[in-house]
Structure 1
Amino acid sequence: MLNSHETESNRCSLSQLAPLEAILFDIDGTLCDSDPLHYIAFRELLQEVGFNGGVPITEEFFVENIGGKHNDDICKILFPNQDLQKSLKFMDDKEAMFRRLASEQLKPVNGLHKLCKWIEDHGFKRAAVTNAPRENAELMISILGLTNFFELLVVGGECNRAKPFPDPYLKALETIKASPEHTIVFEDSVSGIKAGVAAGMPVVGLPTRNPGHLLMEAGANFLIKDYDDPKLWTALEELDSLAAGTMVTP
């Protein structure tokens, strides 16, 4: 029987992926801590249209009802009795406000560029897979200096079904010609983790703004604080060792 330390060690391992082929990233909350900017945009514009009697939404409301979801689904949650076109116009205004805020304030998650260099040095395939509108996604990738890093950007709204369905991740795998058995996903939301798991891949969760226990319940293999987390680098070094055929058992 495994003791607790061994159980944790096994759960944080990615050894089953060797040899690693590809790494897929969500964008919002995964490459950058963008949720506070989305929250500000939603809070201000919802207050302007008199949502909830003009009382500003809370961060808890944002996490439970908005974060990680596709815009069509958010419209149904926020405006269930309103004409869809009017709701989508609200979302367009909100996205425009988000882009203004992002241009001034967006920053990468700690350690992101260190991980991206490691991926480039190893020659792994990589793609960004998001429920964000393409204009937002391309802007964030550009601000983060990753336009030339990603081989592919998959947008949920351009697939048959967005996250939490697996379609966006399956499209990414098919396009970059990678196997789910040899690909890691990085995600920060429940819907994103469910999508990655449904596509047959292990998912590393970042509780950037979402509660860690919800990410684990959604199926994350393990959680990391950011891309400087020693847990992540231990797992990646293990993959390196396996690939080199030099894995030494303790």
Structure 2
Amino acid sequence: MAATAPNGNPTVSSLAATVPVQAVLFDIDGTLCDSDPLHHVAFQEMLLEIGYNNGVPIDEEFFIKNIAGRSDVEAAQNLFPDWELEKGLKFLEDKEAKYRSCWFFLFSLAKERLVPVKGLAKVVQWVKDHGYKRAAVTNAPRINAELMISLLGLSDFFQAVIVGGECEQPKPAPYPYLRALKELQVSAEHSFVFEDSPAGIRAGVAAGMPVVGVATRNPEKSLVEAGAALLVKDYEDPKLWAALEEMDGEEAKLKKASE
């Protein structure tokens, strides 16, 4: 559980404790960009086609509670508890194909539909300026993950893309983040994570890293309860930059002490 200040807000001290920083890891959906509305629409359409919920479209609350940030197995079990898992996973596979086709259509007409989280370019530049290693760690299929990264212009930024479905277990298990650490050849003690979902936060914490919870759509309370070391609205949140400035200060102290 993250340490808290007297007002109940998470402190930034656990981020500063990662100094000297070696790597910064990012989730994709909801963390780099607000892609959940596109996923929501794709699920709505696919579920309506099979008469799910007596033909009533699923709302955003249902989507966030049962689907967003979940692994395919968890989402399939939440959606279709009476189905065989293989059947539920096939439905999700078909949904992802529909999602990608929607993406190609949307972005051929209006690329601005994919909106980066506010301040993303600023934090990306901060990571680059500091020379930290970086990886994207996601439960999305690789083809979707790489498509989103490409559309955001970040293909050259990430040195690794780790997919939960290609690991022993996806998030909320720690394996995707542990693989990222291994591929980047860095330690958990000197790395931190940006995540937007409780499952992702739990994965990062279980892998031994402090996690910055980005409150794009998930309830803030759920992010704190999952163990977020710091909760921010977006990448322009003053709390984030206060934490990063503290880290810079600690880095400077270490450098001076070694001279």
Q: How well do the aligned residues superpose, as a CA RMSD in angstroms? A: 1.9
Query: Does 2:249 correspond to 1:241?
Result: yes
Corresponding residue of 2:6: 4
2:170 — aligned with what? 162
Give 2:75's aligned residue. 74
Offset, 1:149: 0.3
- Asked if the contact 1:65–1:74 (Cα under 8 Å) also holds between the matched residues in 2, the reply is yes
**One-letter code aligned to 2:115:** K
Report how many residues are paired: 244
Q: Could you list the runs of 5+ residues in structure 1 that have no partner in the other structure?
A: none
The whole-number CA distance in structure 2 between the counterparts of 1:108 and 1:3 is 30
Asked if residue 224 in structure 1 is aligned to residue 232 in structure 2, the reply is: yes
Structure 2: runs of 5+ lacking an equivalent: 108-112
Aligned ranges for residues 1-250 of structure 1 at < 5 Å?
4=6, 8=9, 11-13=11-13, 14-103=15-104, 104=107, 105-245=113-253
Q: How far apart, in 2, do the equivalents of 1:122 and 1:217 lie?
A: 30
11-20 or 196-205, larger mean C-alpha shift: 11-20
CA contact (8 A) 2:116 2:152 kept: yes
TM-score normalised by length of structure 2: 0.89
The alignment partner of 1:215 has SS state of helix
Distance 1:138 1:246 in 2: 37
Do the aligned partners of 1:17 and 1:181 also contact (CA within 8 Å) in 2? yes
Q: CA deviation at 1:151?
A: 0.4
One-letter amino acid of the counterpart of residue 154, structure 1: I
Shift of 1:73: 2.0
**Would you say the 8 A contact 2:25–2:134 is kept in 1?**
yes
Query: Aligned letter for 1:4?
Result: P
TM-score computed with the length of structure 1 as normaliser: 0.92
Following TM superposition, by how much is the alpha carbon of 1:161 offset from its aligned partner in structure 2, in angstroms?
Answer: 0.5
SS at match of 2:17: helix
Q: Secondary structure of the residue that 2:218 maps to in structure 1?
A: coil
1:183, 1:107 → 2: CA distance?
A: 26
Contact 2:5 2:11 in 1 (8 A): no
Q: Is the 8 A contact 1:102 1:140 kept in 2?
A: no
Partner amino acid, structure 2, of 1:30 = T
State the shift of 1:90 in Å.
2.0
The one-letter code of the counterpart of 2:221 is: H
Q: Kindly report structure 1 stretches of 4+ aligned residues shifted beyond 3 Å.
A: 2-5, 83-86, 100-103
Give per-residue Cα distances to partners, 1:184-211, cap 9 Å, x unaligned.
1000001000000000100000111100
